C-alpha cells in the first residue's frame, strides 16, 4: 500500500509472505476464559470502573491519541486478498471427527490430524498460527466443511485487503498490482505473516526486501523466527513462555534497525517497526524520520481492545490489563527498569539513535472476532503516524 499526503509523498504496501492456511478460531466464551486464565499473563484484575487500572489507562489513551499534523490522503493497496471463514475451531475439529490431543507444531500441514495438532498447540499458547496446507484435496475438503458449517461467517481476508479496508473510509483508495507500480521515494509498509522456512526469511532480511521497505509490522512469533533465521540476538530462544519479555523484544527490534535499517552508510529505507503481541505493543523508530508515534502506538493498542470485543470504545468491564507491571528495557545492554503506570500508559526510551514507545493492551476477556486483528492494529498505528518528508 502507498499513501500520499499534501505535497509530500508517503506510503505503505501491505504484503503477505508465502501461501498460508489461516485458522484463528472464534471460541466459546467459556473456552477462552479458561485459555486466558491458563496463560497466567498477570495478576487478577481490579473490579472494572473509572478508578480501575483499565479505566485509568483507557482515559489516558483518549487524551494522548491525537491526529498527526499531516494526514494520509491517498492509499495504494497491493493485491493480496482471500476469504476468511470464521467459526469455532473446537466445533470444526468435532465436525472433522477429531478429538483434541496434546498438540504439536508442524512446519506445514498434510492431514486433518496435523491440523488438529497445530490447533491445540497454538490454542494452548493463546497465539494465532498460519501454516501452509500441502495436500490440496484435504485442504479443500476442510475448507468446504468449515464454510458450510452452521453459523460460519465469511469476511474479506488478506493483509493488504484488511489494511486497505481500514484506510478506505479516510483516504482515496487505489489498487496496485505490483511494487513496480509505486513511484520511487514513496515509503512502503511490509506486514509479515507467520513463516516456517528459515532460508526464505533469511533472504527477506538480508537481500532486497528489508532494505526496500520503510515500515514493518509483526508479532512475537514472526519476530523470534526472524532473529533465529538471521542469527540475531536471543536467537537461541526456542519459543516464548507466556508474555514475551519486553527487554528481549526490545533487543531484537534494536538489532533489526541497527543492522538492516536506514543509516548514512547503508542503502536501506527501513526506519520503523510496529511490534504487537497480546499484552503490549512497541513502536521502534530511527530518530528523525517519524512523528506522533506516542499517539500511534496508543491508537494501535486501543484498536486491539475495541475490535476484539466488537465495541466502539473500550468497555472496561470486558477488558483486562495483562501487561507486565515491571520490566527491563533491554536484556543485552544497560537497560533501565520501568514500573508501569496506567495514568501514563506510554513509556518511551532511547538507544543509540533508536526511539521506543511501549504501551500495554487492554485484552478482551471474551473476544468476539480476532481474525485480521494484527492488520487492523498496524493500519491504525500507520493512520496516526506522521512520516517526515525527507524519509
279: nearest Cα among 340, 224, 320: 320
257: nearest Cα among 248, 266, 245: 266
Cα–Cα dist 9/12, whole Å: 11
Cα–Cα dist 187/263, whole Å: 16
**SS3 state of residue 171:** coil
Cα–Cα dist 58/304, whole Å: 12
Which residues lie below 8 Å from residue 136, measured CB to CB, with a gap of 6+? none
φ and ψ of 319, to 5 deg: -125, 165
3-state SS string over 212-276?
Answer: HCCEEEECHHHHHHHHHHCCCCCCCCCCCCCCCCHHHHHHHHHHHHHHHCCECCECCCCCEEEEE
226: nearest Cα among 194, 264, 258: 194
- Active-site residue identified among 84, 251, 269, 375: 375
In sequence order, the β-bridge partners of residue 155 are: 84
**Sign of the torsion angle spanned by Cα atoms 26, 155, 62, 273:** positive
105 a catalytic residue: no
Which residues lie below 8 Å from residue 368, measured CB to CB, with a gap of 6+? 26, 308, 309, 310
Helices 293-309, 53-64: inter-axial angle, 10-degree rounding: 130
CB-hemisphere CA count at 13 Å for 275? 30
The answer to whether the beta carbons of residues 332 and 323 sit under 8 Å apart is no
376: nearest Cα among 292, 305, 319: 305
Dig out the grid coordinates for 86 from the structure: 470464521
Cα–Cα dist 114/52, whole Å: 43
Q: Catalytic residue numbers? A: 375
Amino acid at each position: 500500500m502507498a499513501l500520499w499526503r499534501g505535497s509530500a509523498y508517503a506510503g505503505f504496501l501491505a504484503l503477505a509472505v508465502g501461501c498460508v492456511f489461516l485458522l484463528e478460531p472464534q471460541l466459546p466464551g467459556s473456552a477462552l476464559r479458561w485459555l486466558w486464565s491458563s496463560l497466567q499473563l498477570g495478576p487478577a484484575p481490579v473490579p472494572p470502573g473509572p478508578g480501575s487500572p483499565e479505566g485509568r489507562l483507557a482515559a489516558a489513551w483518549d487524551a494522548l491519541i491525537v491526529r498527526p499534523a499531516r494526514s494520509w490522503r491517498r492509499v495504494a493497496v497491493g493485491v493480496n486478498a482471500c476469504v476468511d471463514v470464521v467459526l469455532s475451531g473446537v466445533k470444526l475439529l468435532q465436525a472433522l471427527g477429531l478429538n483434541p490431543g496434546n498438540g504439536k507444531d508442524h512446519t506445514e500441514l498434510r492431514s486433518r490430524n496435523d491440523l488438529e495438532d497445530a490447533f491445540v498447540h497454538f490454542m494452548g499458547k493463546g497465539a494465532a498460527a498460519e501454516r501452509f496446507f500441502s495436500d490440496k484435496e484435504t485442504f479443500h475438503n476442510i475448507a468446504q466443511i468449515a464454510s458450510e458449517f452452521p453459523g460460519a461467517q465469511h469476511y474479506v481476508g488478506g493483509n493488504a485487503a484488511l489494511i486497505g479496508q481500514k484506510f478506505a473510509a479516510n483516504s482515496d483508495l487505489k489498487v496496485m498490482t505490483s511494487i513496480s507500480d509505486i513511484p520511487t521515494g514513496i515509503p512502503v509498509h511490509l506486514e509479515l505473516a507467520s513463516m516456517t522456512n528459515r532460508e526464505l526469511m533469511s533472504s527477506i532480511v538480508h537481500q532486497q526486501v528489508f532494505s526496500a521497505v520503510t515500515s514493518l509490522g509483526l508479532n512475537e512469533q514472526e519476530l523470534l523466527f526472524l532473529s533465529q533465521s538471521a542469527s540475531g540476538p536471543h536467537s537461541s530462544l526456542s519459543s516464548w513462555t507466556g508474555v514475551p519479555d519486553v527487554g528481549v523484544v526490545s533487543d531484537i527490534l534494536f538489532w533489526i534497525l541497527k543492522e538492516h535499517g536506514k543509516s548514512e552508510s547503508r542503502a536501506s529505507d527501513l526506519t520503523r517497526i510496529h511490534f504487537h503481541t497480546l499484552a503490549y505493543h512497541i513502536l521502534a523508530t530511527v530518530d528523525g524520520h517519524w512523528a506522533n508515534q506516542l499517539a500511534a502506538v496508543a491508537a494501535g493498542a486501543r484498536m486491539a481492545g475495541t475490535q476484539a470485543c466488537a465495541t466502539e470504545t473500550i468497555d472496561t468491564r470486558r477488558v483486562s490489563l495483562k501487561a507486565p507491571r515491571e520490566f527491563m528495557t533491554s536484556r543485552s545492554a544497560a537497560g533501565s527498569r520501568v514500573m508501569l503506570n496506567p495514568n501514563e500508559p506510554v513509556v518511551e526510551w532511547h538507544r543509540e539513535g533508536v526511539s521506543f514507545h511501549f504501551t500495554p493492551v487492554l485484552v478482551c476477556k471474551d473476544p468476539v472476532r480476532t481474525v485480521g486483528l494484527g492488520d487492523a492494529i498496524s493500519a491504525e498505528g500507520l493512520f496516526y503516524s506522521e512520516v517526515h518528508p525527507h524519509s
